[in-house]
Amino acid sequence: MWGGRFESEPAGAARDFTRSFPWDQRLYREDIVASQAHAAMLGARGIVSASDADALTAGLDRLLDELDDADGPDDVGDEDIHSYVERVLIERLGDPGRRLHTARSRNDQVATDMRLYVKGLTLRIGRALTDLMAALVDRAEPDTVAPGFTHLQSGQPVTLGHYLLAIQEMLSRDLDGCYQVFALADICPLGSGALAGVPYDIDREHAAHALHFSRISRNSMDAVADRDYLMALLNLGVGILLHLSRWAEDLVIWASPGYAMVDFDDAYATGSSIMPQKKNPDIAELVRGRTGTALGITTGMAATVKGVPLTYGLDLQEDKQALFRMEDLVLPTLGIMREAFATLRFDRERMAQMATAGHATATEIADYLVEQGAPFREAHEIAGRVVSAAIAAGVELHEVTDDELCAIDARLGPELRERLSAERSVARRDVPGGTAPRRVRLAVADAQGRIELERGRLRELAASGLPAALAPWE
């Protein structure tokens, strides 16, 4: 905003460089709803007349309906969404429109809009997370054996259900992060003015209540300067994508010819421009790539915030780009991973083969010896010698002969052999949090219950924590 202080209009290039409308037009609902709460408060306190407050409220209602029908405002050159809304009201209402900005600064106005948007976004992300979590749990087969890796080397057999529940656990922590970011954003800065508060007899609690904020900010300088809630949102987005990227990396490896444990549906894979045999897991690869993009966005915003002295600099206007770009990375990625996973095919026979490849049940030998009274370190060394013998003979562990086992250690009886199957190995890990089928069934039931509770919690927050006009989903 330039105002009467300036004798000439800004240069076209300067205006184009500084305007944020192409980004912050997404805030039109938040800006209109927050302006309605502000206008109602001004009327209730007698700061503007009741008739002017009514005219403002009605005008904002009409504008919101129009913009919803049009899927947002057209870009006709306004500096930002805030000046757009005010301009339209002035054009339609005259003086009442000019009174809307009484007892309000662009600084606390923007901060209020952004906090409302972040609250809604955390709930949208939360719902997308629960949808993907439910998809994982629905396919968490407790009896299908699969390989478990460390260092990308054969580790121990697990069940497919146990693996998928591990991904679900990662996403459940991200869901916890959604609630934490919601709480950080749930503070109303309206009434803080530019930085020092306002000299009007306002009722900050009135506006905060109308906007469903749980409390008002305690310090006007901090209220307009704070971007901690935004950085928390960006870090939440990065955390989600980091989890999805690790899963995507597994899927890329599992889909490769050397592993051949999963097959992407044709609708979620691509071919090659020159190699006709190729079926590329591009969805999973792009998840990895976009995680790097998200890291760049978050690091860039942190670098911006660290250099802005209290309270405000136009540097902070870059927060809109960071927020909306992160939204456009996280939500589509959660959605496409859910869709691609729903049609992903598991080769259970190949997974069973891979579950024991690389002598992955060798720990069973050590455990067997421990049960015979051997110290674990001694048992570990003997099991390693059995593995070496199998490698030398070019056979699997269960194919080492009884005589060879006895020659390594007399305690290695023939009954050991039946414990070396992947099925027996996973079944023996029957502890809370373990991979045994019985434990996986219990974990699936528990996860299903928790997901339904979380969906209810998200619905409750949507109803209690945001005005109806800002409902995060239809």
Nearest to 364 by CA among 388, 382, 390: 382
The answer to whether residue 151 is catalytic is: yes
The dihedrals phi and psi of 158, each to the nearest 5 degrees, come to: -135, 180
> What is the β-pairing status of strands 187-188 and 153-159?
unpaired
Question: Which one of 49, 214, 272, 388 is the catalytic residue?
Answer: 272
388-391 contacts, C-beta under 8 A, 24 or more apart: 390/359, 391/359
The Cα 354–Cα 350 span in angstroms is 6
Task: Pull the structure tokens for residue 121.
Answer: 């976004």
The Cα 255–Cα 343 span in angstroms is 14
Question: Which one of 8, 151, 273, 464 is the catalytic residue?
Answer: 151
Catalytic residues: 151, 272
